[in-house]
Amino acid sequence: MKFEFEIEDGDFAKAGTASSQVKHILKQLNVDTKIIKKTTVAIYEAEVNVVAHAVGGGTLTADINLERIVVEVVDEGPGIEDIPQAMTEGFSTASAAVISMGFGAGMGLPNMRRNADKLEVTSGVGEGTRVVITNYI
């Protein structure tokens, strides 16, 4: 089954709404609690990245079957210039406003990698970013 959610850019009051809904769905499906936690942490980091960086917002699509959860987060924001550098703990391009919200510590992508069985990040400057998080049930 597939679920799609819109993510609004810059609206920190709503950041996490999509991830929360996915968490609720996974609970209803009786997915193992450890898999729910790692999946929601990974997709929450991805959702916050869209809110923090992507002008125009993005979409979060969760595709769930008996074997795996695949969450795709796509935005048309500024893109990532150097993905390996962005994967380094502590590297951040977040604004002061984002940092004041408690984010921007340069842990977003590393946290996604830590909590995903498989993580794909494709991006280009001016071309937006696509993150695909796969966790096996």
Hey, what amino acid is at 11? D
Question: Token pair for residue 109?
Answer: 């992508």
- Rounded distance, CA 90 to CA 21, Å? 29
If residue 60 lies in a helix (H) or strand (E), which one and from where to where? Answer: strand 58-64
CB of 127 to another protein, least distance (A): 25
- As measured in angstroms, the least distance from the Cβ of 132 to another protein is 19
- Which positions lie near another protein, rule CB under 8 A? 12-13, 15-16, 19-20, 23, 37, 40-41, 44-45, 48, 101-103, 105-108, 111, 114
Min separation Cβ 111 and another protein, Å: 5
Shortest CB 10 distance to another protein, Å = 13
Is the Cβ of residue 10 or residue 124 nearer to another protein in the bound state? 10
Max Cα distance, the chain (Å): 42
Q: How many CB atoms are located within 10 Å of the residue 95 CB?
A: 12
Residue 102 or 126 having the CB closest to another protein: 102
Q: What whole-number distance in Å separates Cα of residue 111 and Cα of residue 137?
A: 19
Strands 68-75 and 128-136: antiparallel
Nearer to another protein, 43 or 54 (CB): 43
CB nearer another protein, residue 76 or residue 105: 105
